[in-house]
Amino acid sequence: MTLVITNCTNRKRKPVARARNISDLAPAPLTDLASAWGQRLNAADVRFPAASIYGGRAFQEASTAAGTLGARLLVVSAGLGLIDASDAVPPYACTVLVGAADSVVARVTGPYDIATWWKALRTASPFARPLADFMAADDDGPILAALSDAYIAMIAEELLALPATVLARLRIFTRTPLPRIALALRPYVMPYDDRLDGPDSVVRGTRSDFAGRALRHFVNLRTAGSLATDVAAVETALAGWRLPTKHDRVRHDDAALLELIRGHWASVGGSSSRLLRLFRDDLGIACEQSRFAALARQVRGEQP
């Protein structure tokens, strides 16, 4: 069976249940924080299929790709561990992104790194499962991983622990620069670049959903060959595509951006990814992705 692996982004809030939020926990050393977080997750009495609590284009693209292939969809979650998208889990708020209100980094006292958090989470979370558990002995389908840089860093050790014959089936879709990816994983990164957002692309979007869009494009190529064949197929498909035009965009402080987000919120149906694209392409406004996401979450929380 084919496996599609993606990371959780842009969570949907379930109004019928209070989300578990790591920011409610007292600061603590990493392993203690993971233990306390695991206890809180375990105590949650209301749960939903994981796929129903995630939103955003990146996740939807991966979900669509999995459906097209009849694949199993796995989610790399900074708050739950590695889970199946069909697993029943509680709504939660926990990320490894620096600066976010629900960031693990803000709650850890003492040493911290993403890989160590992942190891502690795998032990503490009642929902986490090792990647190897999803690998059936008779499987020979591809493993398609659409992941951002932080999530590649979290699961890299598990990927590298796979037998060589299984690792050969891996294809990674990401915008992460190769030097930031473990050396042994770099050969499996499909050669997508900024042309995916150029004028010839049929899957333009934002940086946050780049990996999911690249995955969907790859699935539509209908290639299923060796690593070299798949790399060549992507290179051929992008060969005639142009890079996006560079724009000089206007910068605003947070207060001004909040007012602009509120003013355009309804016009994009509350979609932060569509709003960011509107800001950058139509309004010529500059805003770094994580900063915009934090401001958009604030505005989303203001909505009735």
Query: Does one domain contain both 16 and 116?
Result: yes
Q: Is residue 266 in some structural domain?
A: yes
Average pLDDT over residues 246-263: 84
Query: Does one domain contain both 208 and 256?
Result: no
* pTM listed for this prediction: 0.83
Give long-range contacts, CB 8 A cutoff, 24+ apart: 185-193: 185/152, 185/156, 185/159, 185/160, 187/227, 188/227, 190/214, 190/218, 190/230, 190/231, 190/234, 191/231, 191/234, 191/235, 191/238, 192/217, 192/234, 192/238, 193/238
Top-confidence residue, 137 or 221: 221
Query: Does one domain contain both 257 and 219?
Result: no
Query: Does one domain contain both 232 and 291?
Result: no
Supply the DSSP string of 48-95, one letter for each residue. EEHHHHB-SHHHHHHHHHHHHHTPEEEEEETTTEEEETTSEE--EE-B
Number of folded domains that form the chain: 2
Average pLDDT over residues 142-154: 95
* pLDDT tier for residue 10 given thresholds of 50, 70 and 90: low
Which residues are paired to 170 by β-bridges?
143
Name the DSSP letter for residue 273.
Answer: H
Query: Does one domain contain both 190 and 64?
Result: yes
CB 121 within 8 A of CB 51: no
**Mapping DSSP to helix (H, G, I), strand (E, B) and coil, where does residue 147 land?**
coil
At 182-215, the pLDDT tens digits run 999 999 999 999 999 999 999 998 888 999 999 9
Query: Taking 80 as the threshold, does the pLDDT of residue 14 lie above it?
Result: no
Query: Taking 80 as the threshold, does the pLDDT of residue 13 lie above it?
Result: no
Q: Is residue 146 in some structural domain?
A: yes
Domain end call among 213, 238, 263: 238
Task: Give the pLDDT confidence score for residue 11 in this predicted structure.
Answer: 56
Q: Is residue 77 in some structural domain?
A: yes
Rounded Cα gap, residues 122 and 119, in angstroms: 5
Domain end call among 184, 215, 238: 238
Structural domain harbouring 268: 250-302
What is the percent of the chain where pLDDT is above 70?
95
Task: Give the pLDDT confidence score for residue 123 in this predicted structure.
Answer: 97
Query: Does one domain contain both 280 and 142?
Result: no
